[in-house]
Amino acid sequence: MRDHLVRGLGLGGRVRAVAAETTTVAQELRRIHEPTRTVTTALARLATGALLLAGSLEKVTGREPMLTLEVDGGGPAGRMFATASPAGWVRAFVANPGATAASTEDGRLDVGSVIGREGHLSVTRDPGNGRPYRGVVPLFTGEIAKDLAWYLTESEQSPAAVVLSVSVEHHGEVSAASGLLLQLLPGVSEEEARELTDRVHELGSLADAGGGPADWLEALFSDGFDDVESTAVEFRCGCSRERVLSALRLIGAREVGGVLRDAERGTPAVMTCEFCRTSYEVSIPELQMVLEEIVAARLRSSVN
Ligand SMILES: [Zn+2]
């Protein structure tokens, strides 16, 4: 089935739930970044988590809202981040795709060790109005799902359960990826919360349970599920030559001057997008134009 996300309200509007199937997104992340099996699992979990949380962003006027998850746990994978929008696109980056860790005692891929547990998880909600909000919590498992639940419970005072499920074959191909987020709103009793948690555990690995996101939510909320909305989900980067040139304007006159001199000596200026690995060759006239713009902007600011 095509990747998609289903969201809605359970328990008469007292539980916000989002479920997503992200198998194709995970396969695309693997194709682009060529990570090890453990890093594939980590990246796919992070991207799925970003999509689940992005579903809770309110659309305001202005730019498209975006949500970014960043983990930096001091492990061999290095820094990782994923950016998603409520419209259903996601992209992700990892510093060291080739990182490995020994499997756990019960034979599972050890995501916690490859990410590390000595750092932090940050969540940046950018509603598109130029005033992003960033929250940070220390990592405690590095497995991502529990860290996200901890973040939502502690930092946003919204008790939550997060399940992120990624299956990677021995040869490295992703066979299934999915996720589930439940946020308890005011008015949920402790008993109801316990019952819901038990049912989530019964669902086990979402992918193995068969069906799609709507089936999982139906299994969780046997009394009905309201305000159901379904969104197609896909990997999309959104980079462009324009954005590459904008990024170049930020790195400073001296650096751009150096790149320009190299280009004039025959070493082409190539900028590679770290999210999708698309390479952009920047021509000598483009470099000259960027350099002139940086110098002109500096002159303007020194006159004012
Ligand atoms: Zn890109």
Tens-digit pLDDT profile for residues 215-231? 889 888 988 888 889 99
Strands (E), the chain: 4-10, 15-21, 66-72, 80-84, 89-94, 120-126, 133-138, 160-168, 174-184, 225-232, 234-235, 269-272, 279-282
Dihedral, 28, 31, 36, 37 alpha carbons, nearest 10: 40
Largest Cα separation within the chain, whole Å, is: 72
**Ligand 1 center from residue 93 Cα (angstroms):** 10
CB-based contact 72:120 (threshold 8 Å): yes
pLDDT at 210 over 80: no
Q: What span, in angstroms and rounded, lies between the C-alpha atoms of 227 and 83?
A: 25
**Ligand 1 center from residue 241 Cα (angstroms):** 10
Q: For residues 249 and 228, state if they share a domain.
A: no
**Ligand 1 center from residue 179 Cα (angstroms):** 24
Q: For residues 213 and 179, state if they share a domain.
A: yes
**Ligand 1 center from residue 45 Cα (angstroms):** 20
CB-based contact 248:290 (threshold 8 Å): yes
Q: What span, in angstroms and rounded, lies between the C-alpha atoms of 50 and 45?
A: 9
pLDDT, tens digit, for every residue of 234-292?
999 989 999 889 888 888 889 999 999 999 999 999 999 989 999 999 999 999 999 99
pLDDT at 219: 86
pTM of whole model > 0.85? Answer: yes
Q: For residues 274 and 198, state if they share a domain.
A: no
User: Which range (54-58, 161-165, 294-298) has the least confidence?
Assistant: 54-58
Q: For residues 254 and 107, state if they share a domain.
A: no
pLDDT, tens digit, for every residue of 68-109?
999 999 999 999 999 999 999 999 999 999 999 888 888 888
Q: For residues 84 and 127, state if they share a domain.
A: yes
- Phi and psi at residue 138, in whole multiples of 5°? -70, 145
- Phi and psi at residue 80, in whole multiples of 5°? -135, 140
**Ligand 1 center from residue 87 Cα (angstroms):** 18
Q: For residues 147 and 219, state if they share a domain.
A: yes
Q: Which DSSP string do the residues of 6-26 spell out, in sequence order?
A: EEEEEGGGTEEEEEEE-HHHH
Q: For residues 169 and 209, state if they share a domain.
A: yes
Q: For residues 163 and 194, state if they share a domain.
A: yes
Q: What span, in angstroms and rounded, lies between the C-alpha atoms of 176 and 169?
A: 9
Domains identified in the chain, total number = 2
**Ligand 1 center from residue 22 Cα (angstroms):** 19
What range does the domain containing 203 cover?
4-235
Q: For residues 284 and 181, state if they share a domain.
A: no
Bridge partners of 225? 10
Looking up residue 127, the CATH number of its domain turns out to be 3.55.30.10
Would you tell me how many other CB atoms lie within 10 Å of the CB of residue 303?
A: 6
Q: How far apart are the first and last CA of the chain?
A: 58
Q: For residues 194 and 282, state if they share a domain.
A: no
pLDDT band at 1; cut points 50, 70, 90: low
**Ligand 1 center from residue 242 Cα (angstroms):** 12
Contacts 24+ apart (CB under 8 A), 196-204: 196/11, 196/15, 196/161, 196/220, 197/161, 200/161, 200/163, 203/163
